[in-house]
Structure 1
Amino acid sequence: MLRSMATLLAARGRDRQHADGREEWGEVRLALPPSLPATMGCDAVGLPARHGFRLMSRLRGNGCVFADTDWWWWIVPAGSDAELRWPLPACYAAGARVPDRSPRLIHRPDHGSPYTPPIPLYLLVCQLTGIAPAWSGPAGHGLPTRR
């Protein structure tokens, strides 16, 4: 059975045990403040907590950021993984469904949008991990090149 990346990353959290001894980790959808509507849908990009403060300090226009003891999650518009390969250890959580380790809102934006701009976030994650940014387009459609 396939599981989401967020479920696979759930090292701790509320767990259930099956009759055969297997454990199942729960997920939770990050809840945005009612005053910050997610008109474009929402996904989340997570990074291990050790990178959280560094990323927050380098990003302009942080949207809502959630954290638990192990991961920090930035809210991005739905589909922000289209044509992007988020490098490990980043985790992309469609629908902002993350491991249920009781994440809490740690940053609320001053502006009226819950979103962190995904491209600057992506570029900083690439810089942080030492991975060159890579965009993949539909078959036969690469990024434009100069001639």
Structure 2
Amino acid sequence: MSQGEPVGELTESVGYALKQAAAALRAGMDAALRPLELTVPQYACLELLGQRPGLSNAELARGAFVTRQSMNGVLRGLQERGLVTRPASAPHGRALPTELTTAGREHLRRASVAVRAVERRMLTPLTSAEQRRLHGDLAACAAALTLESAD
């Protein structure tokens, strides 16, 4: 019975290079968001709500890649700062739909510009065609693993 193939040299591993890129992106986003007093999960929450108002805590947690418990803390902090609003009771079921306030939309605009600048800096070595290819390739890789885990 074969044990399969080991990872081999990390310098040749696509997964390792991807993790390095993700860590560098996260560090760049952290630095860009710090003056706005936002964390990456807080920014992700605002961005999701800016594009899809009314998402529940569970939907926000999935979209921001954090646990529901972590998202509760994120939402509480954003609500205390007046950036999001949630009803006191759920209109249907148990989910509390969250929306950006006017201050939240303005904060999101500045944060989104800052994060986009980091992304542009990351992509500067690539042509427009290479950027589109990279996006498509990464999406295909994610889909392949998502399909595998669903089996």
Please indicate, yes or no, whether the TM-score normalized by the shorter chain is above 0.5.
Answer: no
Higher normalized helix content (fraction of residues): 2
Give the TM-score normalised by structure 1. 0.27
TM, length-normalised to structure 2: 0.26
Of the two, which has the highest radius of gyration?
Answer: 2
Higher relative contact order (CA 8 A, sep 6+): 1
